[in-house]
Amino acid sequence: MKAVRLLAHHVDEHRLSEVAEGGAGAMLTDAEQRHVAACDRCSLLFEGHRRALHLLSAPWQRVDVPRVSVPFWRRDRVGRWTELAAAAAIALTLAATLLYSRQTGPQTIGVSTSPSASATSVPNASSSPLPTTTPFVTATPWSGLPSATTLLVVPSAMRTNVPLPAGAEVDTATLVADSDWLVMGVSFPDAPTSEALYAANLHTGALRKIRDSSAFDSVPTAISVAGSQAAWADSTCESSWPSPMPTEQAHSLPQVRCSSWRVVLTDLETGTSRVVAQGSNPDAINDPQDQGSAIPIVPTVALGDDALAYTSGDLTHGIELNLLTLSSGATRALPLDGPLEEMSWAGRDLAWVEDTDLQAAGTGPGGYANPYYLDSQLMVLPNGATAAHPIADGAYFLDADTGEIAWDEGGCEMWTASAPGWQPADTGYEGCPAFVSGGWLGWSDAFQNASLAILAPGDSEPRGVPDGVALTGGWLILGSQPGQPTGYLVAPTQLGVVRVSDLK
């Protein structure tokens, strides 16, 4: 009998976690209960989340534990023989990589932008398909979760080093590329400041700081890049702190109030910035997904080809989506039903995640001080349309490229939709955040053998990239961090890139 696996029928992991947490009214529906009772994967995940939450709410203490130095292939507690097999596979991979590098030889263009960086290299134009895709032995109890089972090790000859400021650590959640530019959030371990933004030209090796780090302001959010321009939102916020001071066991809701916000547009070629829009004292909402923390409702920003979208307004008078045509300065505004959590251009169409199901202040667990939203919808505004239409519920980690969007639902289940119909489709892959670029899909492969999994257009088998960080703007971003095992990348101190079109 042929076994057929129904990918879409699992209860999503966020839902399992929510119910395990016992939130207000959180109960499995009858259908979900029946599925969980019959599904080994879901019942174990449910129990795992219940136990994890129980553990996390236990008293935190300082205890001595065995020093952890776990190679990435041991993440799933595989047996000793599997470890040996994995180590052998990696050794073979490295040997093949070395051999390949010696045979092809890098074409060095001799740009070294930092003392620690080696020469920047460009891929050999006549490079043959990568010989380093190596079958990888995996052993996991989660056979129901499809993931990458082959590794892709990108040879150094194909990589272009990304210049970084000395001593910088890169925030892997803030890496956005388009054309020749990569914008990244950077922090310095020995400086008491928040993230700065740097832009690197991947063609010339130029590096430019486009936003200072600051100990006083919030970190920049909603960063997007289009061509040689970048846009982001800056908010100046203050937290009110609990009194008395928090102890190791105390738990109290912080209140965040933002005094000002602005939308910044920067020319990456010249480094000149201008404030496109600004305001003060934005309304705040409580976020039930963040222990009820207060967050400002505006702005959300997305930069596209000759178009900048940003939100403004308040809860009393309404929130608006402003669509600014950069070349002409023309602006049109669309009313929104709720604040936007994320927004991204998919070519000339615009996609966003909009909060829905508004609840009044004073309700919610413990009585939130601000209004809050219980749900959200993924919306698409086709080019030239006057109204957006919903295509999915509860999306997050939205990413978009021309004619395609990708997002996560529930337990990091990746979905995609393509123009013009924008019909949601379950990819069957799990991992977050989701990336989409030039027909390639990518996702953080937190549970398997690599930092990132990628799927080429037309391929059915994803490949794990051990030092993969992100897929953005047609580039595969690779990173390394001294002392950190491959696959456990946290804050890379070295970055490299390769065009995804060179990987096929």
99-158: contacts with another protein (CB under 8 A): 141-142
CA neighbor of 447 nearest in space, from 462, 430, 460? 430
Per CB under 8 A, the list member of 10, 49, 159, 463 interacting with another protein is 49
CB 458 within 8 A of CB 162: no
Please report how many Cα atoms fall inside a 13 Å half-sphere around the Cα of residue 50, on the Cβ side. 12
Q: Within positions 200 to 239, which residues make up the interface with another protein, using CB under 8 A? A: 215-216, 218-221, 236-239
> Binding string to another protein for residues 298 to 337, with x set by CB under 8 A, is what?
----------------------------------------
Of the candidates 106, 185, 288, 492, which one interacts with another protein according to CB under 8 A? 185
CA atoms of 273 and 291, how far apart (whole Å): 36
Considering only 167, 206, 491, 502, the residue that binds another protein (CB under 8 A) is: 491
6, 60, 274, 421: residue in contact with another protein (rule CB under 8 A): 60
Q: Is 27 in the site for another protein (CB under 8 A)?
A: no
Task: Using only the alpha carbons of the chain, give its radius of gyration.
Answer: 23
The C-alpha angle 54, 59, 64, rounded to 5 degrees, equals 110
Nearer to another protein, 215 or 330 (CB): 215
Residue 92's Cα: distance from chain center in Å? 31
The residue within the footprint of another protein, chosen from 2, 102, 251, 317 (CB under 8 A), is: 251
Does residue 246 bind another protein (CB under 8 A)? yes
One of 85, 89, 253, 333 touching another protein (CB under 8 A): 253
233, burial (CB in 10 Å: exposed 0-12, middle 13-18, buried 19+): buried
Query: Site mask, another protein, residues 155-174, x = CB under 8 A?
Result: ----------------xxxx
The 10 Å CB-count burial string (b at 16+, else e) for 290-304 is: eebbbbbbbbbbbbb
Q: Which of 224, 370, 416, 444 binds another protein (CB under 8 A)?
A: 444
Positions 381 through 440 that interact with another protein (CB under 8 A):
397, 411-412, 432-433
Number of residues that bind another protein (CB under 8 A): 85
* Shortest Cβ 471–another protein spacing (Å): 16
Q: Which of 7, 18, 35, 48 binds another protein (CB under 8 A)?
A: 48
What one-letter code names the amino acid at 152? L
Enumerate residues 265-294 that contact another protein by CB under 8 A: 289-291, 293
Q: Which stretch binds another protein (CB under 8 A): 115-123, 253-261, 263-271, 468-476?
A: 253-261
**Helical pair 30-38 and 40-56, crossing angle rounded to 10 deg:** 100
Closest to another protein by CB, 29 or 239: 239
Find out whether the peptide bond into 299 is cis, omega within 30 degrees of 0.
Answer: yes
Of the candidates 417, 401, 419, 420, the one whose C-alpha atom is nearest the C-alpha of residue 409 is 417
Of residues 460-489, those binding another protein (CB under 8 A) = 484, 488-489
Q: Specify which residues 241 forms β-bridges with.
A: none
Q: Which is nearer to another protein, 158 or 470 (CB)?
A: 470
> Shortest gap between Cβ of 110 and another protein (angstroms)?
33
Query: Which of 34/77 has CB closer to another protein?
Result: 77
Tokens of 82: 């599997």
Those residues whose C-beta lies under 8 Å from the C-beta of residue 295, and which sit 6 or more positions away, are: 256, 284, 285, 286, 287
Do you find a cis peptide bond into 141, omega within 30 degrees of 0?
no
Shortest spacing between CB 484 and another protein, in angstroms? 8
- Burial pattern 234-251, b for ≥16 Cβ within 10 A else e, equals bbebeeeeeeeeeeeeee
Structure tokens at 151: 């590794």
Least distance in angstroms from the C-beta of 160 to another protein: 25
**DSSP code string of 346-411:** ETTEEEEEEEEEEE-TT-TTTT-SS-EEEEEEEEEE-TT-SS-EEEEES-EEEEEETTEEEEEETT
Q: Per CB under 8 A, does 194 bind another protein?
A: yes
Q: Does 245 bind another protein (CB under 8 A)?
A: yes
Residue from 32, 195, 234, 404 in contact with another protein (CB under 8 A)? 195
Which of residues 62, 80, 102, 317 is near another protein by CB under 8 A? 62
Given the complex with another protein, which of 142 and 306 has the nearer CB atom?
142
Q: Is 366 in the site for another protein (CB under 8 A)?
A: no
Judged by CB, which is closer to another protein: 169, or 314?
A: 169
- 377 is written with which tokens? 């919808």
Region binding another protein by CB under 8 A among candidate stretches 56-64, 85-93, 271-279, 327-335: 56-64
User: ∠ CA(206), CA(210), CA(216), 5° rounding?
Assistant: 145
CB of 354 to another protein, least distance (A): 17
